[in-house]
Structure 1
C-alpha cells in the first residue's frame, strides 16, 4: 500500500528518507505530480520505469532545488544561465550537455550525452529536493501514456501499491508539464515541448526558436517527445464544433456547443491559464464519467493556438494520437 504523506516537516523528512534509500515518492510541483526516484541510483530509476510501464527509451528529467545544483550536472552555457535566472524556479526544462562528473545514471539519461534538468517551483518540493540533496528523476506520476496527475488522488488512482509514497502538496497550479528547450547547440535553441513557459516569453530572452520536425514513438531525444501520450481510455476527437449525443465534451469558453451527452468546461471565462490548470483533471473526469454514462468518445472544443493554448493543444493532439500496441510500452 502506498503511504499518503502530508507536506509537513515530518512528512517531508519521511519522503526524503524514502528517496535516499532508493524508494519512489510522488510529489506535486507547479506543473503536475512527478514520480520521484534518486537519479544517481540505477535501481531506483529502473523502479520508476517499472511502476509506470514506461518505455525504456524515453529519458527522464532530473529535478534540483537550485540552479547551482542543476548546473553541477551539466555544461551550462551563458544562455542557459540567463534562462535559469529568468524562469527558475519554474516550468522550464533545459536540455544541456552532461558534465564529465555528472552523477545522474545512464539509465535516467537513456545513455545520451545530454541531460534534461529543471528547478521546480513550490516550497514543499524545493524543501524536499534540498533534504535529499541528490538529482531526482521525476516523470509524471501516472502509467505511461495515460493522463498526467494534477492532484495526489490522481496518483493513487493509478499507482497505489506500485510506489512507496505520495507527498500530498495539493492541486498543481499550472497543470501542464514544463516547457522543454534543447540548448545542446548553443546558437540554436530548439523548443522540444510546449509547456508552462510560452514561446513568446522564451524568445524575449533567447531570440528566435527552432522546432524539431516531429515527435517520435521510437527513440525520443528528450522527455515529453512521445507521439501517443496523455491518453484517456475513450478516444479523443479535436476541434469539435458539433458534438454528438454519445460524446463527453471537453468545452472551452462561455458558450459551449450543444448536443453532447455530458460537458466539462475547462474555462467558462475563456482563460487559457485556467484551462491549462484544469486540463488533465478534466480529461480524467470525462474519461470516468463517459464510461459511467456509456458515452463513446471525448470531443474537444477548439482551443486558441496562442500562448498557453499551444501547450494545451500539444497535449490534446498527443491524447488523440493512435495508441501504440500494449506490448510496445513495456
Structure 2
C-alpha cells in the first residue's frame, strides 16, 4: 500500500504526475468521458501494475491515449477510414481499434497479445496537458476496480483505488460521463462498444452501417465483458413501477423516483450523470436493497447508457 497523492491540474501538478509516470507509477487523470488510470504503455511493469491495481483480467486489452495524430500514427496503421474518423471526431470520446505497428514499442500486455491496438486522442485539457508533459503513450483503462462503477470524479477514484496508485490529478467532474465509443477498423467497420460518440454520427461520417462486433470471452477492446460497471446492489432495468426495497432511478417524468438521470429526458445530461447516480443509488440501497432504472430510449447516447446498465444488471460470476 502507498499513500495516494491528489495533484492539482496545474503546470507543476502535471509535471509531478508526468515524473511519477516516467518512474513507472500509476496516475489517474480526468478525460472528457471518465477518469483513466494511466501507466506508461511502453513499460511492461507499469502496465502489469494497472492490471494488478484494478484486479483486471489480463486478456482484456487497454486503450492507448496519445496527445496528437503524429503519436497515434506511430502506434497504429491508419487507413483512409481511420483518417476520416479521426479528422471528424478527434480529439474526443472515440477509440479506434487498428492494426498495431510492429515498431510501436507498446507492451504486449496492453494489446493482450493481439495484432491490433485501441487508440484514443482525448479532448480534456488536463489529459492533453498530462500527455504532453509525459511525452509518450499512456495505457489508461477507467480508474476503478475491474467490473465496478466507472469514476467520473477524483473522489470516485480514491474510493476504489486509494493506496493502490501513486496519484490522482483532480480535474473536476467529467463532462461526457460514459466511456468512449470503440470502433474496430481492422476489417469492416464494427461497433465494439457504444459510448460518447453516437452510432448515428459515426455511420454518417463513414457513409455505411456499422457491424456488431466484439466478444465477451475474447475481447479485442475494453467494455465487452458481460458483467461490468456493477454496483454492490442488484440492478433491474426498464422499470415503470418499482417494487418494495428498490431505489428507483428515473429518466424523464417519474413521480416518486428517489433519483433521476435527467428529469427532462435529456440523454446528454443522463450520460454525464450515470455513474455518479449509480453510486448514489448503491449507497441508498444499502446491503439489502436493489436498484431499479426507468426505461431509456435506445438511440443516440441512450444506446451507450443502456449498454452500461445491461452490463451492470448482468449476473455476476
Q: TM-score, normalised by structure 1?
A: 0.93
Aligned equivalents of 1:320, 1:54: Cα separation in 2: 19
**Residues 1:123 and 2:118 are matched in the alignment:** no
| Whole-Å separation in 2 of the counterparts to 1:156 and 1:249 | 27
Whether the 8 Å contact between 1:39 and 1:105 is mirrored in structure 2 is yes
Unpaired segments ≥5 residues, structure 1? 325-330
SS at the partner of 1:72?
helix
Instruction: Give how far 1:135 is off.
Output: 1.0
State the distance in 2 between where 1:83 and 1:115 align: 16
Change in CA separation of 1:42 and 1:213 when aligned onto 2, cut-off 3 Å: closer
Q: Following the alignment from structure 1 to structure 2, what is the Cα–Cα distance between the partners of residues 88 and 31?
A: 13
d(CA) in 2 for partners of 1:245, 1:322: 21
Aligned to 1:327: none
The yes-or-no answer on 1:242 pairing with 2:241 is: yes
CA contact (8 A) 1:63 1:138 kept: yes
Give the aligned partner of residue 51 of structure 1: 53
CA RMSD of aligned residues (A): 1.2
The residue aligned with 1:267 is 262
> Distance between the aligned counterparts of 2:185 and 2:235, measured in 1?
33
Q: Is the 8 A contact 1:237 1:320 kept in 2?
A: yes
| Structure 2 Cα separation of the partners of residues 97 and 314 of structure 1 | 26
Whether the aligned pair in 2 keeps the contact of 1:27 and 1:35 (CA below 8 Å) is yes
- Count of matched residue pairs: 315
SS at match of 2:211: coil
| Contact 1:267 1:275 (8 Å CA) reproduced | yes
Within-5 A mapping of 1:146-161: 146-161=148-163
Which residue of 2 is the match for residue 189 of structure 1? 189
- Cα offset for 1:208? 2.2
Aligned with residue 92 of structure 1, among 88, 91, 94: 94
User: Which residue pairs with 1:201 in the alignment?
Assistant: 201
CA distance in 2, matches of 1:174, 1:46: 28
Structure 2 partner of 1:297: 290
- Matches of 1:234 and 1:244 in 2, distance apart? 14
- Equivalent position of 1:101 in the other structure: 103
Paired residue for 1:256, among 249, 254, 257?
Answer: 254
Q: What secondary structure is seen at the aligned counterpart in 1 of 2:271?
A: helix
Q: Which residue of 2 aligns with 1:220?
A: 219
- Residue matched to 1:318: 311
2:7 is paired with a residue whose SS is strand
